Amino acid sequence: MTTIAVSRTQIAGDRQSNHNGGLKFKIKSKIYSFSNSDFYKYSFHIGLAGNVDTFPEVIAFFLDPSNVEKTPKLKGGEGIILSEDGKIWTFADPSKWLYIDQPYYAIGTGMNFAMGAMSAGATPYEAVKYAEKLDPQTGMGVTKIDI
């Protein structure tokens, strides 16, 4: 699946994707940036974990929800949001954000490795690098955004 880690100042995610047959391949990013006041007054960054087939629908929803017939759901996955004012949310339904009231969080198959690393003082970027070593579903480089 993936590992996405976030703190109040950084979001990071790996670039590995897996085909149903087990083939691993690299994608450009699992982190996307938006500036849409219909959702939040500040710009925000979203990390997506789960079935990559649903990512385009979720991205289209955040770009312009009026152009989407039905709110998409992340199948077998989760999204995480870091806003430019340092707030963190998680979601499976992009229209329903759950506020995370702690200094860091992680999603995906490597989330426990990333959470452990961040509890020991690692940045989200470093936490995903640790998860790459331990989670076979995480790898092929890391994308990060600092706010």
Residue ranges per structural domain of the chain: 3-141
Q: pTM for the complete prediction?
A: 0.95
Residue matched to tokens 């976030």: 6
Distance in angstroms between the alpha carbons of the first and the last residue of the chain: 25
DSSP 23-37: -EEE-S-SEEEE--T
pLDDT category of residue 1 using cuts at 50, 70 and 90: confident
- pLDDT, tens digit, 9 for 90 and up, residues 16-70: 998 776 789 999 999 999 999 999 999 999 999 998 888 999 999 999 999 999 9
Q: Topology of 3-141 in CATH?
A: Glutamine Phosphoribosylpyrophosphate, subunit 1, domain 1 (3.60.20)
- How far apart CA 100 and CA 91 sit, in angstroms, is 10
Q: Does residue 96 have a pLDDT over 90? A: yes
Reduced to 3 states (helix: H, G, I; strand: E, B; else coil), residue 77 is coil
